[in-house]
Amino acid sequence: KAGVTQTPRYLIKTRGQQVTLSCSPISGHRSVSWYQQTPGQGLQFLFEYFSETQRNKGNFPGRFSGRQFSNSRSEMNVSTLELGDSALYLCASSLRTDNTEAFFGQGTRLTVV
Amino acid sequence: GNSVTQMEGPVTLSEEAFLTINCTYTATGYPSLFWYVQYPGEGLQLLLKATKADDKGSNKGFEATYRKETTSFHLEKGSVQVSDSAVYFCALRGYNTDKLIFGTGTRLQVFP
C-alpha cells in the first residue's frame, strides 16, 4: 500500500511569507504527527493529531499551526517565516493502537531566504 | 520530562566490524523504545522496536534489548556493511501518545 506522502518535497520562501505543508497518511491511519529536523536542534516534535483533534503540541511559537481533516490528511502552516524556520519537516502516521509504529514520509525541505 | 541520550558520532568502521551505538533514556512509566535509520535525502525508517522490559528488537542483523535496570537500548550489529552507512536515531514513546522523543542521532560511516 502507499506510504506517507508529503507535498511539496522542496520549497523556497522569503522571510515574512507563510507556507502550508501537506501530509497524506497511510490509508487507515488516523494519527498524524509532525517533526522539524535541523542540523542544530535535531528532530523536534511539533504536533500530534488524532481524529481531527490536536492531542499534543511541542514547544514552538504560535506561528506554527496545524490541522487534520476528516480523511486524516493533515496540513501544517507556518506564518511570518524566519530564516531559522529552514528545515526538513517530517510527517509520520500510525494506526494509533497499542504497539503500533510510526511510518514517516520523505519530508518537505523548506528553505527560507 | 522524558529524554533520550545517544553517543556522539560519527562512528567510522571497516566493513564486517562490530557495531555498538549507545542509547540511554529517562522516562516516567514504561515507554516504548525504537531505533530509526535515515539515509541521505530520505525520511526516517523504523529499524526495530521494543515495547517492554527485556524485549529484544531485531531486524536486518541489528539488535537492541530494552534494559529497564540500566535505562538503555543499545544498538548492535555483528558485521556491518557499506550499505549500513546512515544516521541512526534512538527514540522513545510514552504512554497513550504517538509523540516520539529522539536522540541527537549518530552518523555511521562504513568503509570497504
Q: Each residue of A42-97: pLDDT tens digit?
A: 999 999 999 999 998 999 999 999 999 999 999 999 999 999 999 999 999 998 65
What pLDDT does A66 receive? 97
Sign of CA dihedral B80, B84, B85, B89: negative
Q: Which of B48, B87, B98, B101 to mutate to test the interface with A (most CBs of A within 10 A)?
A: B98
- Minimal Cα–Cα distance from A16 to chain B, Å? 27
| Residue B98 pLDDT level (bands cut at 50, 70, 90) | confident
Query: Could you say which of A96, A99, A104 has the minimum Cβ distance to residue B44?
Result: A104
Q: Looking at CA atoms only, how far is residue A23 from chain B in angstroms?
A: 13
Instruction: Out of B43, B89, B98, name the one closest to residue A31 (CB).
Output: B98
CA distance A42 to chain B (A): 6
At B84, is the secondary structure helix, strand, or coil?
Answer: helix
Measured CA distances, B77 to A3, A39, B17, B48, B68 (Å): 27, 26, 9, 12, 21
